[in-house]
Amino acid sequence: MFFLRTLLSGVIPRAVTGRPSSTLASSAATVEAERTIRDGPRNDWSRDEINSIYDSPILDLLFHGAQVHRQSHKFREVQQCTLLSIKTGGCSEDCSYCPQSSRQKKEAGSTRFCMGAAWRDTIGRKTNFNQILEYVKEIRAMGMEVCCTLGMIEKQQAEELKQAGLTAYNHNLDTSREYYPNIITTRSYDERLKTLEHVRDAGISICSGGIIGLGESQEDRVGLLHTLATLPTHPESVPINALVAVKGTPLQDQKPVEIWEMIRMIATARIIMPKAMVRLSAGRVRFSMPEQALCFMAGANSIFTGEKLLTTPNNDYDADQSMFTILGLTPKAPSFAGSETPVEPETSKEAVSSFG
């Protein structure tokens, strides 16, 4: 009984360790998660602080990511999003022969419809842009959240998207500022940040994250998270993508991302941006259900559904439905500005019983 009490109190007797009895040193994940729960979100993170969290023991990251998640969100809820190319989808009609109908995606459980276009920017695309505004209005009228990813946009376009009812705008930073030139040279990091500024100023929620597995270092992953966590307002959604190496591209021979790397990114993002939806995004198809369960425990609460994400494969509908059933997950209902209800924090007893 004495031994059990000492374990629960965090004190290990000399006979067990060979060292004088002392309270176990707390990891950065422990310290910062407790501070996040106590004080709420902050935007003045240093790189060193984030790096220390990222470097914490993986079990600490899992546990404390889960603690912050349960404090800030309904922990069983997972947002289901659909991402389709505007060139091949985005229509609000309900033709039964077309799997890309937004109505069918809603019936399949999706609550956020994301429209993507392989554009650098929207300059010279007035007709296409006006059509997108119509798509946004029609899909929003169906009771779905609407997100777009159209490349760089200007202030006026952001305001027009807001007026049309756009919920969120996706514009990923991809990686750190330092590593960015190794991946993309046709647009600058500051141009990406400027687009996020236009979106934020228009009152549209920001969806912005990155990709791991590009050949970047740990410092680059920390740098990406630092940029996101020190924006004037944390992104509403933070997609964490694992590179899906495509044959014929410069990154075709990159080593696949391991689940532990995803857990470190997800848990760190959850601790430093507690209110954000952390999306287990591209590359999820490579992870087993138990591995995805660890990601949800670490703080992920959003996924993309559907068998394809623009040009890369994704988990099929039946597999996701089976996962939701087995893991006891529930689909998150759509939420719009002013309609969200605060999350009641769990007591320690509730949290322990939930893990059981």
Active site residues: 91, 95, 98, 114, 147, 207, 279
Residue 354: CB partners within 8 Å, gap ≥ 6?
Answer: 70, 75, 346
Q: Which sign, positive or negative, has the C-alpha torsion 160, 161, 163, 169?
A: negative
Structure tokens that stand for 120 in this block: 């650098």
* Amino acid in the structure at residue 156: Q
Strands 168-170 and 205-207: parallel
What number of helices (H) and strands (E) belong to the chain? 14, 12
Structure tokens that stand for 174 in this block: 């991809």
Angle CA(119)–CA(125)–CA(130) in degrees, nearest 5?
110
Q: Tokens 């939806």 belong to which residue?
A: 277
- Which of helix, strand or coil describes residue 287? coil
How far does Cα 32 stand from its chain's mean position?
20
Please check whether residue 258 is in contact with residue 286, taking contact to mean a CB–CB distance below 8 angstroms.
no
Residue 79: CB partners within 8 Å, gap ≥ 6?
Answer: 111, 112, 277, 279, 301, 302, 303, 331, 332
Q: Tokens 């991946």 belong to which residue?
A: 183
Spatial separation of the C-alpha atoms in residues 276 and 123, rounded to whole Å? 30
Radius of gyration for the alpha carbons in the chain, expressed in angstroms and rounded: 21
- Which of helix, strand or coil describes residue 305? strand
Neighbours of 129 (CB within 10 A): 19
Taking phi over 0 as left and psi of -120 to 50 as alpha, with beta for the rest, 47 belongs to alpha
Structure tokens that stand for 67 in this block: 């603690």
Total count of residues recorded for the chain: 356
